[in-house]
Amino acid sequence: MQTNPSFPSFCALQRAINESPGFPAFTANVQELLAIQDNPYKTVNAVSAIILRDLSLTTQILKIVNSIFFQTYQRQVHTVSSAVMVLGFDRLRDLAVGLRLFEHFQKSAHLSHIKQLIVLSFLTAIQAQELVQDDPQLKAEEVFITALLFNIGELIVAYYLPREYQQIQDLREKGEPRSTAAQRILKATMEEVGLSILKEWNLPDSMVKRLSFLHNAGASGAGAEGRLRKTIKGAFDLSRNLLDPQVDPEERRQKEEKVCKTLGLNPQNLGQSLTAGKKRLHEMAQVLGIDLREMEISDDIRPKDARELKAAAAPDTPEQKATPADKPSRTASREADPLSEDLKKLRFLYQVVEEVNQALVAQAPINQLLLMILEGIFRGISFDRVIFSLVNPQRTYITGRFGLGEGVEDLLRVLNLPLKDRGNAFAMALEERQEYLVNPQIRLRDRNLMDDNFWRVSRSPSFLVAPIHVEQIPVGAFYVDRVASGVPISEEDQRRLRIFRDLTIISLRLSKKAKLFE
């Protein structure tokens, strides 16, 4: 398929993109995800750190990954770190980029038909995954993410070229085929326009090639790739048919029969897939903050009442929440019901502990275990920053290796501290084998436990160091603080941190890795 940006519509599209007020922020978010080097020890932490900065994206990622993953493996993940491990770096990156794209498109002044297209994209992904549940040749999670971006070209045209898009829609209403109408108005298909823009945005070559293959009419239908192409195209046709309020029941049935013949499906199995897909779409709409009841879609898809919506979204992590219109802000909720918020955090804490235990049984690499633990501390105890520091083999220095939170990259650079002479908080905590809460506002001498460069970079009024010893040997420490919230680190916070510290010690003892993060 042509992806060379030589057609006139591409120039108009580029002008529209450059003039879009939200575009610079959009590209910065996406490019940050795309800039991560595919290093086996760094990508999980890097992707997790970017996603965890955004509460909304964290919630969406976890709910969608669980929707994908649970269908196949019948269990859930509770940390972004686990989600990266479950799906793999490439897939989770593509999912995160796709969600950023959809978030960007929802800012459209022509929101009604943009929402229609976003819902169509998610229903296509859901239906495609449902259709391959029993297909050993295709991985359901990869099918979902590929199908999610199948119609990205139409979304790009509808968002950035609304006048031309409406002209295409007018021609389609008069009976002209979609591709012919686009060729007449854009001098290219919407898929060609979309692929050219994705390349211009430097999205992964693997993503662009997959989408190009899916839209290549001359591509072979043989093998797993051919099966993938037919499945996603069939799911797209089914989804468009299901959503269209103008399609009568008999016409809908005939189109479903056509898809069954094309894909070699049993009509009864297709009916079950459509029913399951409808329920999952309601869940996805809740995650995306889209009210299907307000949309011009078929009655077969529209939730009948609030009970169908309520069934979608029982939150099971501290961050998961309903849409802003339905629920107060996180701060307001905490003020209104602090016990409820604390119970959610405690529940999440034990979910992470269970997840780490499962990873230990599966003999996951130590770096992955530590990243899961870090995320458990970060989200479960609500610290602003969490850092894991490692003692060098000679036991002369301790160095910050990786962390989560705002500004943590700058803080890591100043955490390279000598362990001799108890000259800093880390050395003291490791020598005394106990946590050390550094608070110069209460004890002025604590200021001398770290140098001026640390205090300037950290901007932290206080912090806690929790030492880690394995078989009486000092191996590392956790650094935690709260900068933005200003909430003091309590005894209960320390008690919960010890749970993760002990879990870290167990992980290190059971690990067969002699060296970490090289």
Please give the helix or strand (H or E) that residue 329 lies within, else none. none
Per domain, the residue ranges of the chain are 10-310, 344-510
Check whether 123 has a pLDDT greater than 60. yes
Query: Looking at 13-17, 108-112, 247-251, 513-517, which range is the least confident one?
Result: 513-517
pTM comes to: 0.77
Whole-number Å distance between alpha carbons of 15 and 119 = 27
Check whether 42 has a pLDDT greater than 60. no
Regarding the domain with residue range 344-510, which homologous superfamily does it belong to in the CATH classification? Answer: GAF domain (3.30.450.40)
Read out DSSP for 429-486? Answer: HHHHTS-EEE-TTT-GGGGGGS-HHHHHHH--S-EEEEEEEETTEEEEEEEEE-SSS-
Mean pLDDT in residue range 77-102: 84
In the chain, what's the furthest Cα-to-Cα distance? 83
Band (24; pLDDT cuts 50, 70, 90): low
Residue 366 to residues 369, 392, 430, 515, Cα–Cα distance (Å): 5, 16, 21, 10
DSSP three-state, residue 402: strand
Residue 269 to residues 136, 138, 299, Cα–Cα distance (Å): 17, 18, 22
Check whether 293 has a pLDDT greater than 50. yes
Q: What own/partner pairs with CB < 8 Å and gap ≥ 24 does 324-327 have? A: 324/289, 325/289
Per-residue model confidence (pLDDT) at position 166: 93
Band (174; pLDDT cuts 50, 70, 90): very high
With tokens 């060729």, the residue in question is 183
Q: Does residue 217 or residue 233 have the better pLDDT? A: 233
Check whether 338 has a pLDDT greater than 70. no
Check whether 464 has a pLDDT greater than 70. yes
Mean pLDDT in residue range 174-184: 93
The top-level CATH class assigned to 10-310 is: mainly alpha
Check whether 4 has a pLDDT greater than 70. no
Mean pLDDT in residue range 391-401: 94
Mean pLDDT in residue range 369-389: 93
Per-residue model confidence (pLDDT) at position 515: 47
> Which of 2-16, 20-34, 158-172 has the highest mean predicted lDDT (pLDDT)?
158-172
Check whether 517 has a pLDDT greater than 50. no
DSSP state at residue 421: G
Whole-number Å distance between alpha carbons of 338 and 49 = 27
Per-residue model confidence (pLDDT) at position 316: 45
Per the prediction, the chain carries an average pLDDT of: 83
DSSP three-state, residue 78: coil
- Structure token pair of residue 178: 């979609």
Q: What are phi and psi of 474, to 5 degrees?
A: -70, 125
Band (422; pLDDT cuts 50, 70, 90): confident
The share of the chain scoring above pLDDT 90, in percent, equals 37
